[in-house]
Structure 1
Amino acid sequence: MSIQAYQTNSVETASPGELTLMLYNGCLKFIKLAGKAIDSRDYEQKNINIQKAQKIIQEFMVTLDPEASISKEIMPLYDYINRRLLDANLKNDKNILGEASELVGELRDTWKEVIRQTRQEQFGKGGNA
């Protein structure tokens, strides 16, 4: 099985929670690539990767359930991250990029913990799923 086929299969068989985790990881990857592009003065790649990270954050923003109480707390955070990515892009600023990366990393880690706890509840405390 090729890497491409494996990746496609992983996405097609992932739960919604796992897909969200993949998106957070992808966002972090694009931010990291943008930082490397700033270092090498490859501003086209910096722009492409920051825009990919922004698209992920914007997808999170449009898919938030407005009725869920957590949405009122997390929407401003997504909006802030999105604006910081824009600022980093405009200013070629790795410090701002680092701030956005840290916030996305915290969200990803929180989401990872939610998945872990959900699995424990689904499969019982004794399982190692």
Structure 2
Amino acid sequence: MLKQFNQAYANDALKAAVYGASPVGIVVMLYEGAIKALASAATAIDGGRFEEKARMISKTVDILEGLRVALELDQASDAASNLNDLYLYMKLRLAKASLKNDKEILAEVKGLLETILPAWQQVDRGSAAQQQAAGQNEG
């Protein structure tokens, strides 16, 4: 799983953060990275920097594909199936946004990610609290 996510990032400090994070913490970081990349893509469109726009959209697509591949679809979870469909939808929308330099589509996908992100953050906080409580019980 980490190997797939590393393809989306080249920053050494980020790699260190990823290797120190829980799996859910990695998902949170990926969502945050995708949201930032979409904001950068919109800014690049405004500035006529279309190569940068393409790079930022491509980065987001790579993140979405990494998230999609990491889903455990064989466990027949409705949540995993729905996320798979949503990630595929977002990737299709981003392809169209890239072709048309459409900031509204970028905003749509960014909004979807921003809607889901708090749920992942809550799960991550719950996991961290459980690990902390387990550590205190051992001592």
TM-score class normalised by the smaller sequence:
0.7 to 0.9
The whole-number CA distance in structure 2 between the counterparts of 1:84 and 1:10 is 30
The whole-number CA distance in structure 1 between the counterparts of 2:68 and 2:15 is 24
In the alignment, structure 1 segments of 5+ residues that lack a partner are none
Greater CA deviation, 90-99 or 4-13?
4-13
Q: Alpha carbon RMSD of aligned pairs, Å?
A: 1.8
By how many angstroms is 1:20 displaced?
A: 1.1
Deviation per residue, 1:75-122 (Å, 9 max, x gap): 111111111111110110100100000001112121001112333444
Deviation per residue, 1:29-61 (Å, 9 max, x gap): 110110000000111110010000000001111
Residues 1:13 and 2:34 aligned together? no
The whole-number CA distance in structure 1 between the counterparts of 2:32 and 2:119 is 12
In the alignment, structure 2 segments of 5+ residues that lack a partner are 1-10
**Count of aligned pairs:** 122
The whole-number CA distance in structure 2 between the counterparts of 1:72 and 1:107 is 15
Aligned match for 1:22, one of 25, 29, 36:
29
After superposing on structure 2, the runs of 4+ consecutive aligned residues of structure 1 that deviate more than 6 Å are none
By how many angstroms is 1:6 displaced?
A: 4.4
Aligned match for 2:115, one of 101, 106, 111:
106
- Matched residue, 2:66: 59
Q: 1:51–1:105: structure 2 CA closer, same or farther, 3 Å change rule?
A: same
By how many angstroms is 1:64 displaced?
A: 0.8
By how many angstroms is 1:5 displaced?
A: 5.8
- Matched residue, 2:43: 36
TM-score in terms of structure 1 length = 0.85
The whole-number CA distance in structure 2 between the counterparts of 1:78 and 1:34 is 18
- Matched residue, 2:54: 47
Aligned sequence identity (%):
34
